[in-house]
Structure 1
Amino acid sequence: MATAFRDIQPGEFEPTEAHPQHGVIIGGPAARAKRIEYGILLSSMVIGSLGALYWTLTHATGWVEWSAFLFGYILINMGVGIGYHRFYTHRAFEAGPKMRLAIGIMAQMACQASVLKWAADHRRHHAFSDRVGDLHSPYIDGHGKKMSKWKGLGIAHFGWLFDNTTSDMNVYGKGLIDDPQVLWCHRHRWSIAVFSSIIFPALWALAFGGPEHIIGTILIGGFFRNFFFLNFVMGVNSIGHVFGSQRFKTKDGSRNNWFMAWMTFGDGWHNNHHQHPRSAYAGLMWWEVDVNGYIISLWEKMGLVWNVQRAPKYVRDSDGNWVQKKKLNVQSPEAMSEDDGGLMFADGKKTAETKATADAG
């Protein structure tokens, strides 16, 4: 399958500079392609959002334009949180081929690159969270250089999209580079982006309004909707690693941020997620609203998904610490290899054996 992702990682490229972490590539065609693709996607959203602002100030807009915005926002929110994140990155549940394809298309309607690239990059983030190798940490850049607070927030939010590092698909793309649904979505990512940003809003305008609503609905319900939501997804990378509370003492800066959680349908419970990355639910307490988790539960009851991964329940002990209500007998399958993103969810026994072998060597 080496040729299936040549546009992301040409097989013949040999980096002239080695990154200190395994699975991170510096420079080359993949880095150039990354900058071009993200440049096109981001600039189109920004220009379209400015157009939406102008249109709102100079034209009457109503329920047609804003209902398209709201419906599209809900759709791509589910796509990113459930599709890109919980399913393709973390395998929080299982689904059949048709459901996997539907989830992948819904995710890519957010216009944040293909499932293949998004999931591989996010696996790398978890493997090196807030340490050398993390691609969007607010503390260090892609090469491991420490940054000031405000520069770090900027890099973690949008700046990382344009650095010269990329994720090795042979490491972080395992289980993705040979998945027919993932590859179909990757090959059709531009057509899905055009459909999401232009065709779908135009059809919505014709169905519920008329030709006079087409331009406004494309600008508001297409480009502005994507850019508005993108800032909350990126905000989990930046704000979600600096501002908020920490229930668990993870080895990174991940925080639970209620506002980011509300706007991302649950992904803002980021500290919970870093403690239990494979769980289908980021909200662990009843008051932690996790819309994407509720949707997964509904799909499970409908038989659309199965083998849904769940985190253990937690309670406070006498010292005020959060502890598992019922201690698991074995380590949950969440231990991440720092050397190989393809073994992110090795079971505890395998992880211990691997570590023992490495120590012996």
Structure 2
Amino acid sequence: MPQTTGLYPSDRQWELEGKGSPHPGVLIGGPGARSKQIEYSILAVLQVGGAMAAIWWLFTQPTGWVEWSAFISGYLIINYGLSCGFHRYFTHRSFETSLWMRYLIGICGQMACQGSVKKWAADHRRHHAFSDELGDIHSPHIDGHGRKMGPVKGLLIGHLGWLWDNAHTDMRLYGKGLVGDPVVEFCHRTRWLWVAFSLVILPAAWALAFGGPEHVVGTILVGGFLRTFIFLNGVMGTNSLAHYFGYRRYHDVGKATNNWFIAILTLGDGWHNNHHAQPRAASNHISWWELDFNGWTIDMLGRLGLVWNIQRRDKNRPVGLPEAQQLGGEPVLSFGETSKKDELVA
């Protein structure tokens, strides 16, 4: 049988039938697909295996402020790097900043252990270009080839399964401004160094500085591996849960929703419907309960003069009309949803 890069039967069949690209900007198979599968497999094994070991440690060994302070501080660092850096800066250019700050947010983002900023930002650009339609990279409604999926398979593929399909992003189209950028290329080349620093070196140093050698293993497991695993699921939940469950203020941006649970895990990125309505806006905050700590962080950096030209929301942006099936009402899966009548009037 001819060799394919498809790990899923339907993906192998796609390659064997020679169907090629399902949409401009989407590549099927080849070294790019295999490289993606290998890299994400390594990252998944590290984080899942380390998180399982951390859970075992929590049930069998005492932990204290050293381990949990490393968890909290590390969580804030990688959240800042990925949410404010990878997402709002490198992908959407929600603000401008200096060269040294670009290196800082790029490195902090790499510490989230979610792959290269170059690939991450290009993939996310493609997601916005074709949200929940043919061409989307990680929708819970259609796979990377544009085939519709049921809710169970869709949520699994949209959450993590897309990492191992054989569809990948054409960097010639979505990598503009990323490929060749010295900061992006530096972060890309050194990404495995920052994985080791995030998971092992930083938490070990934290344990030695604030506790002692007896805290090193527990701090690595809790403040390194468990921390990145929980944050990973928050980010991936934005792709899956926040395109299925929650409420929608804007009805012309695909199926992206505002999901309070994901907003907590990502410190503001879970207000995903707000984000899709105005991707370049530095903040997702609209209603009082939609707390966006990432947007506030960017605003604080702006007041300090560390970032500038911050993109603000257009308060007069129309909400659009609900889809036909929404007019009969949908279950409210998150607090704070306005009624369909109120949205139409607005």
TM class by shorter chain equals 0.7 to 0.9
Deviations 1:314-351 (A, max 9, x none): 5999x623789xxxxxxxxxxxxxxxxxxxxxxxxxxx
Q: Which residue of 1 aligns with 2:343?
A: 321
- Cα contact 2:126–2:137 (8 A) shared by 1: yes
Q: Which residue of 2 aligns with 1:343?
A: none
Q: Which residue of 1 aligns with 2:237?
A: 235
- Selected match of 1:72 from 71, 74, 88: 74
Question: 1:147 Cα deviation (Å)?
Answer: 0.6
Secondary structure in 2 matching 1:196: helix
- Selected match of 2:159 from 146, 154, 157: 157
Deviations 1:262-301 (A, max 9, x none): 2211100000001001100111233310000001001111
Distance 2:120 2:317 in 1: 34
The one-letter amino acid paired with 1:320 is D
- Selected match of 1:28 from 12, 30, 34: 30
Question: 1:252 Cα deviation (Å)?
Answer: 1.1
- Cα contact 1:83–1:104 (8 A) shared by 2: yes
Question: 1:53 Cα deviation (Å)?
Answer: 1.3
The one-letter amino acid paired with 1:194 is A
- Cα contact 2:144–2:167 (8 A) shared by 1: yes
Quote the RMSD (CA, aligned, Å): 1.8
CA 159–323 in structure 1, closer or farther in 2 if over 3 Å, else same: same
- Cα contact 1:247–1:322 (8 A) shared by 2: no
Counting only pairs closer than 5 Å after superposition, residues 1-361 of structure 1 correspond to structure 2 as 17-313=19-315, 320-321=342-343
Distance 1:95 1:272 in 2: 24
Secondary structure in 2 matching 1:252: coil
Count of residues in Structure 1 that have an aligned counterpart in Structure 2: 309
The one-letter amino acid paired with 1:252 is G
Stretch of structure 1 that moved more, 284-293 or 153-162: 284-293
The one-letter amino acid paired with 1:43 is V
- Cα contact 1:232–1:263 (8 A) shared by 2: yes
The one-letter amino acid paired with 2:275 is H
Secondary structure in 1 matching 2:58: helix
Deviations 1:154-204 (A, max 9, x none): 000000000001111111010000211000000000001100000000000
Q: Which residue of 2 aligns with 1:350?
A: none
The one-letter amino acid paired with 2:240 is S
Distance 1:298 1:284 in 2: 18
State the identity as a percent.
57
Deviations 1:223-272 (A, max 9, x none): 11100110110001000000000001124110011121122111000000
CA 265–77 in structure 1, closer or farther in 2 if over 3 Å, else same: same
Where in structure 2 are there 5+ consecutive unaligned residues?
1-17, 320-340
Where in structure 1 are there 5+ consecutive unaligned residues?
1-15, 325-361
